[in-house]
Structure 1
Amino acid sequence: MRQMLAGLAVATAMMAGPVCAQEADHYLAIHVDENDPHVMNMALNNVENAISYFASQGETVAVELVAYGPGMNIFVADKTPMGDRIEHMGLQYDNLTFAACGNTLAAMSAKAGHDIALLSEATIVPSGVARLMELQEQGYSYVRP
C-alpha cells in the first residue's frame, strides 16, 4: 500500500509541472537592484514591451518585477521617481505584480529609525534574491535591465 501511495504522489507531482501564480502563455521575472531612474525606467519599459508584444501575438504573459538592495527605491513612496507610472501600470495590467525584498526593507527601516512606506502596488516578499530563484524554478524567464 505504501509503495502504491508513494508512486501516486510522484506521478501527481510530475503531472503538476511548474507552479505559477497566474495562468499565462509566458512568464517573465524582471530584476531591479540599482537606484538609477534610467534602469528603473528601462525595467518598466521592458514590462510594457513584453506585455504589448505578447498581446499582439494573441498571447498572455505574467510579469513580476522584483526589487532589492538600492533598487528598492523604485517602491519607496517618498523617493521613487516611478510612483505614478507604477500606480498606472498596476491598474492597467492584471498580469503584473511587484515584489519588494523584505530583507532590504528591514535594513532600510533600521537605518532610518522608522518604518519605510512603500507604494501600495508592492508586495513584500521575505527575500528578493530567493523570490527570483523561486520564479526561475517555476519556469519564469529572467531579465535584468
Structure 2
Amino acid sequence: MISRRIFAGLCAGLPLVAAASRGTAQPAGYGTQKVVYHINESGGDENRAYRGALQNVQNHINAVGAEAIEVQVVMHGNGLGLLQAALEDTGLQTVVGGLKSQGVRFVVCNNTLAGRDIDYSSDLYDVWEDDIVPSGVAELSKLQMAGFTYIKP
C-alpha cells in the first residue's frame, strides 16, 4: 500500500507539467507576493467549493510564478472538510499534493481539531504536527500583520 506522503509526492508534479505544456509565461508587474487563503466553509456537492478554492490558488501561482509567491491556506471550522474529503478523493489528493510541491502550506486550526474531536493523523489527508496552529483565526490575523494579503475564495 502506498503512503499518503508518497502518493502526494508522486502526484506533485502534475500541475507543473500542465502549466508547462500550456506554455504560460509569467506576466510582468505582479512582483513578489505573500497571500493567505481562508477556507472555513463546507465544500458542497462533490466538493465543488473546495475544488474552486484550490483552483484559485493554482491560478494565482500560475499568474505570479511559484518562485515569486508565498501561499498559505488556513483552514478552520468546516474548512477542515477539504482535508477530510481528500482522504477518499484522489482528485483532491492530487491537487493538494501539486500545490504543496509548489510551496503552498496548508495550515489546520487546533481549536477545530479539539472542538470536533478530529485526529489529524487519521482523519485528515497529509497533515503533520507542524501544520497545526493553535487558532485558525489568530493565524489569519498574524499573517496579515506580517504582510500577507487576505483572500477569501
**TM-score normalised according to structure 2 size:** 0.66
Letter aligned with residue 99 of structure 1: V
| 4+ runs deviating over 3 angstroms | 77-81
Residue in structure 2 matching 1:28, options 13, 28, 35: 35
Map Cα deviations across residues 72-113 of structure 1 (whole Å, 9 max, x no partner): 11122536672332123212x02x100011110112217xxx
1:41 deviation in Å?
1.2
| C-alpha spacing 1:120/1:78, structure 2 compared with 1 (3 Å) | closer
* Structure 1 segments unaligned to the other structure (5+ residues): 1-23
More helix by share: 2
> In structure 2, what residue type is equivalent to 1:39?
A
- Give identity over the alignment, percent: 31
The letter for the 2-side match of 1:134 is K
Q: What is the count of residue pairs matched by the alignment? A: 114
How much is the aligned-residue C-alpha RMSD, in angstroms? 2.3
Q: Please name the residue that 1:138 is paired with.
A: 146
Query: Cα offset for 1:32?
Result: 0.6
Q: Quote the residue 2:107 is aligned against.
A: 99
CA contact (8 A) 1:75 1:119 kept: yes
Residues 118-145 of structure 1: CA deviation (Å, up to 9, x unaligned) = 2225611111101110110001111111
Cα distance change, pair 48–121 in 1 and its aligned pair in 2 (3 A): farther
Structure 2 gaps of 5+ residues are 1-30
1:18-47 Cα deviation digits (max 9, x unpaired): xxxxxx811010011111122211211111
Q: Distance in 1 between matches of 2:88 and 2:140?
A: 24
